[in-house]
Chain A
């Protein structure tokens, strides 16, 4: 640190919120790079979490996997696979961080409210109020084969179950009498009986854990359908979106924030944070070169064939990655790929790729690299800081969930080079002002019900 006097930070502009997505099982994670380390060892999680905390990030984010992905009836072997269980990793990370929020993705379909509410409340107590839950739902029988009830939900029931799950968890978190009611320091209150009877859950008893330090752990939601947006507006504290452009971001932002009033909530009560990637360079040209190199690393020749098979739905292993695209049509009924989101309109995608290949004279491998989504922000640290700030100032986002491409060092450069620039312009905190994740995000205290 230089000798510059630290003044109380002045919030000149709307503040940016930042989160770090651990780059594990994800096809954007580059594992063949010599700097890539284990996606399972605790040291990797510790490195990335400490980096995020050094950068004063709001929270650290873990995705979830409940079944290994399959391709052509066999386990997919070309991308990073294997990960530890999220809530347990976050409990351990609470020991090596002090302020960083700790967010786990946990499926509402393959869990029950009592147990999950208890695990989240436990993490909140063990971390001093830093727990968050990214609510996802699933209904597929493929994942269900690892669980007692199998894939038992209709698609339409997914959000009703998720909404009732969140509401039930909050009833449980609120079920203890307020702490300190008897005036004693450190008193935690007493459990009161709860009873919940709804479409999905019929449970009763006493909750085993006092009200969490945050009242309710922070709830994150990641769906983009109209039902997902409505669920976010009614129930979530943070939305994890995929809208990467300014225009799409502003539309989404206005739409979701506009839904809040109907639930008696203020626009600031819900933070919108797109998941984004970034590439830095000393010059704009260098950043672009690195971005292309990373995309090349992300798409091996084998992965190019696999990407094609995901669209076509048929075995294309006989095709040469350096040769032209197939002439045959996709099979929309294919079950070749399991455990991934299906391609929406395979005919349209196939035609688009063929057109691209013809127009530019690209091979299969080159075409897939070309169609692999561009990193969200590419440039010098100053340019990237500019773009991030613009997104937030112009209401395309409240912040970002950064997805690095390398485990565990993928965030180092961002924290060293971009965060100070955001701080200089008064757009990002220079110290943690509160202890809880809720305080970092500027979220209101949840109102206790019952």
Chain B
């Protein structure tokens, strides 16, 4: 049975990037994450790559976790020069220290310069790298499931701390790596932390329809975004996934430096295409209108907003755009849930191995 494609619109979801060039310690990151939380955003992202100047993104968001209470925390973690076993353990641990607020933005390292930092593999074509990224995400999900939720039993009578029938080898064999398992980290609070993929490129899109909980798309109009979302949902359904469990957010670079002035003439109300992706330049009120219009048209489940000037634009975004959307009843004013999955309306996944309980093989 093919599940029906998700149509109509659910709640609006909003996320923002908190990347700041030249920020190496905790304070500037905490400030922006708290700002995002004040706006009740679903999550904040922090990009990363080995070619980037800046601290390890996952470490920064782990540092932020105790300093925030509800906002989702989504670092980029790359899959090309890293160990899949370490990656999944670190993401699971971010979920533990944040009490279920972790996500993982998957990316690859495609340049020769990055390959030279490791000296182990040459740079490879994107197609192969994204195929590997898909395998890493697959292996990660299996490792997150390798402990059933109730594996720890602390049974004094039999002296057993765990029920080892509820710990599972994953025996994952990929093209470029293999992992035995189980994970060293018990199943994280969300079961599986939220996997986020920028589905703009073709190879990344294939990976996203298989493995992403949240796909990011770049579109210059609601029609374009809606088509991208429909295509992702259709492809996910063909692969046997429930499209209702795949959120599609439009990635939008925002420059709110224009204050209250109207969107730049020539916009036609839509964003401008740039090398960094579609750019919105104008005031926070018009941005709220754009978000509301795209969402009302059923084009996207929400937006991932990337401020040009992080401190300035995020402040205007939260106090202007978000406040207005909240005032219109289009966006939450508080977090009814505790985990990132709850913010996104995604179910906590069943454990793939628990489903086999009772199977003697």
Contacts and interface: CB of A to CB of B under 8 A. Distances in A.
A32 B157 CA distance: 10
B24 to A, nearest CB: 5
Contact of B94 (A88, A95, A205): A88
Contacts of B177: 147-148
A343 interface: no
A228 interface: no
Interface of B: 22, 24-26, 50-56, 58-60, 62-67, 81-86, 89-90, 92-94, 96-99, 113-114, 116-120, 147, 151-152, 154, 156, 158-164, 167, 176-182, 184-186
A80 interface: yes
A157 interface: no
Contacts, number: 176
21 contacts: A31-B154, A32-B154, A74-B164, A77-B160, A77-B161, A78-B160, A81-B161, A82-B186, A84-B185, A85-B89, A85-B90, A85-B92, A88-B59, A92-B65, A114-B118, A146-B179, A148-B176, A188-B22, A202-B119, A204-B119, A209-B53
Contacts of B162: 75, 77, 81-82
Interface in A85-135: 85, 87-89, 91-92, 94-96, 110-112, 114-115, 118-119, 121-123, 125-128
A443 interface: no
A308 to B, nearest CB: 14
A40 B117 contact: no
A146 B90 CA distance: 15
Closest 4 CB pairs of A and B: A302-B159, A122-B55, A91-B62, A300-B159
Contact of A114 (B22, B64, B117): B117
Interface residues of A, number: 61
B24 A209 contact: yes
Given A40-B185, A83-B184, A88-B59, 14 more contacts: A41-B96, A42-B96, A42-B97, A92-B66, A111-B83, A115-B81, A118-B56, A127-B63, A148-B83, A188-B24, A205-B117, A208-B51, A208-B52, A209-B24
Given A88-B59, A302-B158, A68 B184 contact: yes
Given A84-B92, A208-B51, A302-B158, A75 B180 contact: no
Interface of A: 31-32, 40-42, 46, 65-68, 74-75, 77-85, 87-89, 91-92, 94-96, 110-112, 114-115, 118-119, 121-123, 125-128, 145-148, 188, 191, 201-205, 208-210, 300-303
Contact of B184 (A82, A122, A148): A82
Given A32-B154, A122-B56, A208-B54, A92 B184 contact: no
A118 B50 contact: yes
Given A145-B180, A146-B85, A208-B52, A84 B93 contact: yes
Contact of B63 (A79, A91, A188): A91
A10 B161 CA distance: 48
Nearest to A41: B96
A226 B56 CA distance: 36
Given A75-B167, A203-B118, A114 B50 contact: yes
A303 B159 CA distance: 8
A82 B149 CA distance: 12
Nearest to B153: A77
A204 B113 CA distance: 8
A108 B117 CA distance: 16
Contacts of A118: 50, 55-56
A208 B49 CA distance: 9
Given A40-B186, A66-B184, A112 B118 contact: yes
A301 B161 contact: no
B67 to A, nearest CB: 5
Given A67-B184, A77-B164, A126-B63, A119 B56 contact: yes
Of A122, A203, A302, chain B has the most CB atoms within 10 Å of the CB of A122
Contacts of B151: 82
Of A74, A81, A188, A202, chain B has the most CB atoms within 10 Å of the CB of A81
